[in-house]
Amino acid sequence: MNLFRRKEGAPWISFSIPGKYLLFILSVLSVALILVTSATDVMDHISFTALETALMPLERGLANTNRWLSDKSVMIGNIRTLQAENEELRRKIDALQTENIYLQQDEYELSGLRKLYQLDEQYQSFEKTGARVIAKDAGNWYHTFLIDKGSDDGIAVDMNVIADSGLVGRISAVGTNWARVISIIADNAAVSGSVLTTSENLIVQGSLEHYKNGKIRFSKLTDPRSKASVGDKIVTSDISDKFLPGILIGYISDIENDSNNLTKSGELIPAVNFDHLEEVLVIITMKEDYRETEKTGEAS
């Protein structure tokens, strides 16, 4: 058998293996890789030094160039409108300053009331770090993206990612200087949420089909007294094992009874504008740690 025959004008390997054998060998290799990586979480923590050193600085450079270009074009194009806007803004500042004084008085009152009710501002007290979006999934099927911070900056798998004070997704893999985020609009993502007004739980399920209309689907809402209505806020729920509670996901835009008459499903408009996602915040506090602090807090 002439498996390793030498072929005239062979492309790159001097001992050329015929295409079909090569296809077979590499297929076996791929299938083995698929099996290994799907059965274990090896890939979440392996770092690809070569890839990281070669790709990431370039990615960052490209992202920055584009940002710089768009900044400059905006600057040149808008000087006139900016002048007009400036006038208007000055007037607004005056109005806002007076309003601010009133609000500060309210704030005093509020913090006093909060102390009374022993409510904690958990949402704002989470430790966060900012990161830039540097690349996105190569295909058109899922919505995963890369950010420019990794394990060196204290990022770990399953940390929550937010932007515009709404939920974007969670970290699904980490390298030393990059991390991968799976967004909640991706078809393979699901978040356990709850309606803020009624505290009833539901499942927010990313869907390519619904996101084409700018919406996310939710289902399995138990709402026996029909209290939830269009416009209600949906936040991440307490029972989720990966998402911190109380992060805004979006607003109900459409709600209907399921055919079983027990649960409801519908659509929600996400709080985050995913089309203009340039910077995100990663919450360093993880759900597990958060639970532990809560427990020790209760014990003391």
Partner 1 sequence: MIRRIRRLLLYLFSLFVLFLLQISLPVFMPFTALKPNLLLILVSSFGLLRGERTGLLLGFLSGLLIDLLFGDVVGLYALIYMFLGFIVGTFYKSFATNRILLSVSLIGAADVFYGFVCYVFLFLLRGRFHFGYYLWHVILPEAVFTMTIAVLLYPLFLKINDLLEERELMRTRRFV
Residue ranges in contact with partner 1 by CB under 8 A:
9, 11-12, 14, 16, 18-19, 22-23, 26-27, 29-34, 37-38, 43, 48, 51, 54-55, 58-59, 62-63, 66, 133-146, 172, 180, 185, 187-188, 208-209, 211-212, 274-277
The nearest distance, CB 103 to partner 1, in angstroms, is 34
- Side-chain half-sphere CA neighbours of 74 within 13 A: 7
Question: From residue 285, how far is each of 52, 85, 241, 289 by CA, in Å?
Answer: 26, 40, 13, 7
The nearest distance, CB 257 to partner 1, in angstroms, is 22
Which residue, 58 or 84, is less far from partner 1 as judged by CB?
A: 58
Strand segments (E) across the chain: 128-136, 144-147, 160-163, 166-174, 179-183, 190-195, 201-205, 216-222, 233-236, 248-257, 263-270, 279-283
> Rounded to an integer, what distance in angstroms lies between the CA atom of residue 109 and that of residue 102?
11
Which residue, 51 or 101, is less far from partner 1 as judged by CB?
A: 51
The nearest distance, CB 144 to partner 1, in angstroms, is 6
The set of residues, in sequence order, having a beta carbon less than 8 Å from that of 141 and lying 6+ positions away, is 187, 208
Q: Are 270 and 185 in contact (CB under 8 A)?
A: yes
The counts of H helices and E strands in the chain are: 7, 12
The nearest distance, CB 26 to partner 1, in angstroms, is 5
The nearest distance, CB 208 to partner 1, in angstroms, is 7
The nearest distance, CB 67 to partner 1, in angstroms, is 8
Which residue, 43 or 239, is less far from partner 1 as judged by CB?
A: 43
Which residue, 143 or 245, is less far from partner 1 as judged by CB?
A: 143
> Rounded to an integer, what distance in angstroms lies between the CA atom of residue 228 and that of residue 223?
7
Which residue, 136 or 291, is less far from partner 1 as judged by CB?
A: 136
> Rounded to an integer, what distance in angstroms lies between the CA atom of residue 66 and that of residue 178?
19
What's the distance, CA 247 to chain centroid? 12
Which residue, 133 or 195, is less far from partner 1 as judged by CB?
A: 133
> Rounded to an integer, what distance in angstroms lies between the CA atom of residue 134 and that of residue 154?
18
Which residue, 197 or 265, is less far from partner 1 as judged by CB?
A: 265
The two structure tokens encoding residue 300 = 């003391």
Which residue, 195 or 268, is less far from partner 1 as judged by CB?
A: 268
The nearest distance, CB 283 to partner 1, in angstroms, is 21
Rg (alpha carbons) of the chain, rounded to whole number = 25
> Rounded to an integer, what distance in angstroms lies between the CA atom of residue 102 and that of residue 164?
25
The nearest distance, CB 248 to partner 1, in angstroms, is 19
